[in-house]
């Protein structure tokens, strides 16, 4: 996914997006997947392979289902690896 370089490198760093941050981005993420990845044949195939490799959901699942699997994966990473969380700044 596209990310602002300064935010990714200086603010988020190696922290896990918080559940609230991820939930707030849901609409934008799902729209990005549908428009940028799933809209074309070659990128759609790549997206399906990456979903299949990384998430506990079928590679043919709807984007909303893929997002739910991403939320589950985030929770497992938080629990299993005790990663620090990052909360996005709102409105700025």
Q: 39 to each of 11, 27, 36, 44, 91, how far by Cα in Å? A: 31, 17, 6, 7, 30
For residue 92, being part of any structural domain is answered with no
For residue 25, being part of any structural domain is answered with yes
For residue 32, being part of any structural domain is answered with yes
Give the residue numbers spanning the domain of 28.
Answer: 5-86
For residue 91, being part of any structural domain is answered with no
**How many structural domains does the chain have?**
1
Query: 86: part of which helix (H) or strand (E)?
Result: strand 85-86
pLDDT tens for residues 49-65? 999 999 999 988 999 99
- Positive or negative, the CA dihedral 49, 73, 66, 32 is negative
What backbone phi and psi angles, to 5 degrees, belong to 88? -65, 145
For residue 41, being part of any structural domain is answered with yes
Instruction: Return the pLDDT at 1.
Output: 62
Q: In this model, does residue 89 exceed pLDDT 90?
A: no
Structure tokens belonging to residue 64: 């909303």
């Amino acid at each position: 996914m596209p990310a602002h370089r300064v935010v990714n490198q200086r603010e988020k760093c190696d922290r896990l997006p918080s559940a609230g941050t991820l939930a707030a981005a849901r609409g934008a993420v799902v729209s990005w997947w549908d428009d940028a990845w799933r809209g074309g044949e070659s990128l759609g195939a790549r997206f399906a392979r990456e979903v299949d490799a990384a998430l506990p959901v079928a590679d043919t699942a709807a984007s909303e289902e893929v997002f739910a699997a991403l939320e589950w994966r985030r929770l497992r990473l938080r629990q299993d690896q005790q990663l620090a969380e990052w909360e996005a700044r709102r409105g700025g």
